[in-house]
């Protein structure tokens, strides 16, 4: 008989673990507290814009190999679309200057040696000054490792690290920043092609996983919140869901793939990150100009990244705690002004929606990074997954999938 695994939480980390174990022949049971799978990576119909939107614009890079392998395993790699070359158009709203960072299509970072492909007004020496970041210790601050000023910082390092860490880069963990730089910029253009779930996060990264799991006989229970664990002989013996409870046999395994706060509530004494940062997304129902690139980096404004989707312009603002309590209309007007300047469009504020995810990611500072636990626990049949576990990466889809894969591999390794 197939071994049984219970996965608590149907975010990307839980789903990636579930898919890996279902493919390995396990009897998989997924328990999700809310009525929708996907966690912080999901789509829904929004009445204000009359469009299906994502809770946040999610950008992947072609070097996110675990995330891409996950998409491949659920048959949707082709749903992650982007330009053939790693080209990033930028605009500086302070002076209107536009440029394109062209990382090319090589595995080596040859673009660094070509003035026409680098950030304008930067020299090779500016890039060499970033070297200390590459192998920096996680306990070090970005601000102590590299210069956080000057043209290269303002036009490339700041936007990249702000998006990756979701904190003001100087206060971020240099070790986490270094991991991102190693796996993207240092890996050349082939690892840096931007990829977007054009048909929506749920359609590309969530629903096909659910379908695959159901086809393999897995159960997925929505609205099934785990309230407590029952212990037995050094492991989990029972899952208590409030109205019902499930017995967990000694050979069965449990993967807890919930965010840090519920995880700490379920496992008293578990060390987890305790501080979080917001991400603000704004969506405008507006047809993007025909020649508009799918993604524009914006510096010198409120907006940081501008995405063009069919019928919709969307923006992301990271480290957005300063914006979460602003009146929504005021914020929408301010963001729309930046969008008009960056996209080269004009007009009154179109139908809009603002999504403020207050606890979008754990705070990627050295202090909070030190609180991330590994996948193994003191309980022999319980494993942890989630972007906040110790993946060596900031809170990203790539980190979530890695954590899910790692937890699944630990379950597989228990097999006699
Ligand atoms: C606005 C925004 C923008 C982002 N942009 C990007 C980006 O551009 N690129 C990128 O790579 N990443 C991005 N991220 C990060 C990415 O979304 C996360 O890293 C990833 O989705 C986290 O997945 P997870 O499975 O680790 O956690 P979660 O998505 O939080 O999943 C945990 C699940 O557990 C469930 N749960 C909680 N408690 C219980 C319980 N007691 N019982 C059962 N279920 C429970 C929750 O409901 C949830 O579904 C962004 C995040 C946000 C919010």
Per-residue pLDDT of the chain (416 residues), as tens digits, is: 569 999 999 999 999 999 999 999 999 999 999 999 999 999 999 999 999 999 999 999 999 999 999 999 999 999 999 988 999 999 999 999 999 999 988 888 888 888 888 899 999 999 999 999 999 999 999 999 999 999 999 999 999 999 999 999 999 999 999 999 999 888 888 899 999 998 999 999 999 999 999 999 999 999 999 999 999 989 999 999 988 999 999 899 999 999 999 999 999 999 999 999 999 999 999 999 999 999 999 999 999 999 999 999 999 999 999 999 999 999 999 999 999 999 999 999 999 999 999 999 999 999 999 999 999 999 999 999 999 999 999 999 999 999 999 999 999 998 55
Q: Which atom of ligand 1 is nearest to the CA of 281?
A: 1
- Which residue is closest in CA terms to ligand 1's atom 5? 58
Tens digits of per-residue pLDDT, 162-187? 999 999 999 999 999 999 999 988 88
Task: Identify the pLDDT of residue 188.
Answer: 86
Ligand 1 within 6 A of CB of 320:
no
Q: Which atom of ligand 1 is nearest to the CA of 385?
A: 26
Task: Identify the pLDDT of residue 302.
Answer: 96
DSSP code for 57: -
Phi, psi (5° rounding) for residue 109? Answer: -80, 60
Task: Identify the pLDDT of residue 2.
Answer: 63
- Which residue is closest in CA terms to ligand 1's atom 48? 39
Task: Identify the pLDDT of residue 108.
Answer: 82
Take residue 13 and report the two structure tokens written for it.
């980390």
- Contact (CB, 8 A) for 257 and 8: yes
Task: Identify the pLDDT of residue 185.
Answer: 84
Rg (CA), the chain: 22
Q: How far apart are CA 348 and CA 161, in angstroms?
A: 33
Ligand 1 within 6 A of CB of 262:
yes
Ligand 1 within 6 A of CB of 395:
yes
Task: Identify the pLDDT of residue 416.
Answer: 57
Task: Identify the pLDDT of residue 84.
Answer: 87
Tens digits of per-residue pLDDT, 353-376? 999 999 999 999 999 999 999 999
Distance set, CA 212 to CA 74, 205, 256, 400 (Å): 7, 12, 21, 19
Distance set, CA 61 to CA 14, 187, 197, 305, 383 (Å): 21, 11, 11, 15, 28
Cα(39) to centroid(ligand 1), Å: 4
| Three-state DSSP class for residue 253 | strand
Distance set, CA 206 to CA 111, 174, 314, 333, 406 (Å): 35, 32, 21, 32, 19
- Contact (CB, 8 A) for 277 and 361: yes
């Amino acid at each position: 008989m197939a071994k049984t695994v219970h996965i608590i939480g149907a975010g990307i980390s839980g789903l990636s673990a579930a898919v890996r174990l279902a493919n390995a022949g396990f009897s998989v049971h997924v328990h999700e507290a809310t009525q929708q799978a996907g966690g912080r990576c999901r789509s829904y119909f929004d009445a204000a814009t009359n469009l299906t939107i994502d809770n946040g614009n999610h950008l992947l890079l072609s070097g996110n190999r675990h995330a891409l392998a996950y998409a491949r395993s659920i048959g949707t790699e082709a749903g992650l679309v982007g330009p053939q070359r790693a080209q990033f158009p930028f605009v500086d709203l302070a002076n209107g200057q536009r440029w394109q960072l062209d990382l090319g299509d090589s595995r080596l970072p040859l673009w660094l040696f070509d003035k026409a492909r680098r950030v304008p007004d930067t020299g090779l020496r500016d890039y060499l000054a970033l070297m200390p970041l590459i192998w920096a210790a996680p306990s070090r601050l970005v601000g102590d490792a590299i210069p956080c000023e000057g043209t290269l910082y303002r036009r490339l390092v700041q936007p990249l690290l702000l998006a990756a860490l979701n904190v003001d880069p100087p206060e971020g963990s240099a070790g986490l920043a270094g991991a991102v730089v190693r796996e993207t910029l240092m890996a050349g253009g082939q690892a840096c092609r931007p990829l977007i779930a054009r048909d929506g996060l749920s359609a590309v990264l969530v629903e096909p996983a659910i379908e695959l799991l159901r086809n393999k006989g897995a159960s997925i229970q929505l609205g099934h919140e785990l309230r407590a664990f029952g212990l037995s002989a050094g492991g989990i013996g029972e899952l208590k869901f409030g109205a019902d409870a499930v017995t967990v046999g000694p050979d069965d395994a449990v993967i807890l793939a919930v965010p840090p706060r519920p995880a700490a509530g379920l496992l008293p004494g578990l060390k987890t990150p305790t501080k979080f940062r917001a991400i603000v997304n704004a969506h405008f129902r507006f047809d993007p100009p025909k020649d508009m690139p799918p993604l524009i980096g914006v510096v010198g404004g409120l907006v940081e990244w501008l995405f063009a989707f069919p019928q919709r312009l969307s923006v992301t603002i990271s480290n957005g705690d300063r914006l979460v309590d602003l009146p929504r209309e005021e914020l929408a007007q301010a963001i729309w002004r930046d969008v008009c300047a960056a996209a080269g469009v004009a007009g009154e504020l179109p139908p809009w929606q603002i999504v403020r995810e207050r606890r979008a990611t754990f705070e990627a500072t050295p202090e909070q990074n030190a609180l991330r636990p590994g996948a193994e626990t003191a309980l022999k049949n319980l494993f942890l997954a989630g972007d906040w576990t110790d993946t060596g990466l900031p809170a990203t889809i790539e980190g979530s999938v890695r954590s899910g894969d790692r937890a699944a591999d630990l379950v597989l390794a228990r097999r006699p």
